[in-house]
Amino acid sequence: MAELDIEKLKSCTAIKQIPILTLDERWYHLITDKLKTDEICYWEKQVNELLKKQGQVNNDIKEVKKIKNQLIQDVVDNMQDEDNDPKRAKVMEKNQRLIQEAKDKINSLEDEALDIPRDLVNANERLMIETVKVCYNKINSNKEDLEVLDKWINATRVKLKKNILIKQDKEEVNNRMYSAMHDILGPDVMKELDKVNEEEV
């Protein structure tokens, strides 16, 4: 059985537009646990972890932005007060430091958020390649089995036709013989002979 050419498959442009496999219920019906290879399990895990990470990073960005906005609002509120309270100045300084940390964290998370889709596409592509490899290997293996079965069925069909003809011939011979005996010996004698014959058989 010829192996699927993985390099040709990787260069196929159609695979670049496939949806995320682990989000499609049909993929789980296609690749049952029995068909999952170690490679499929590995890439399935990678895809799911990247999806989880993407969701987490997006939530973290929202949360840090919310905190940053609260800190900015706090700074604005404190700026409106005119008195030179040293405690307030300390709070303002702390808030400004926290705002800068929040900006840095947001930048870092946004950078990470940009990397995830590329990594996700790559992992999904590898999962698709492993999936297709398993499916085509199974299809090709089944084709070989089907060829063998077709040959067996055709040979059996020929034998069956021959045996049907032999059976019909033997039935015809039996019917002719019995009919001739019946004509010669008569029904009463044949009845007795049939009983004897049945006991012997």
Q: Which of 37, 30, 2, 39 is nearest to 125 (CA)?
A: 39
Q: Which of 47, 70, 190, 64 is nearest to 124 (CA)?
A: 47
Q: What is the pLDDT of residue 28?
A: 93
Mean pLDDT of 165-177: 95
CB atoms within 10 A of CB 121: 15
Given a cut of 70, whether residue 15 has pLDDT beyond it is no
Given a cut of 60, whether residue 1 has pLDDT beyond it is no
**Helix, strand, or coil (residue 145):** helix
* Number of helical (H) and strand (E) elements in the chain, helices listed first: 5, 0
- Side chain identity, residue 194: D
- Report the alpha-carbon distance of residue 105 to residue 195 in Å, rounded: 104
CB 131 within 8 A of CB 31: yes
pLDDT digit string (tens) for 40-79? Answer: 999 999 999 999 999 998 898 898 888 888 878 877 777 6
- Report the alpha-carbon distance of residue 173 to residue 167 in Å, rounded: 10
Given a cut of 60, whether residue 154 has pLDDT beyond it is yes
Residue 5 confidence class, pLDDT cut points 50, 70, 90: low
Q: Which of 111, 106, 110 is nearest to 72 (CA)?
A: 106
- Report the alpha-carbon distance of residue 129 to residue 44 in Å, rounded: 12
pLDDT digit string (tens) for 72-122? Answer: 887 777 766 656 667 777 777 787 888 888 888 888 888 888 889 889 988
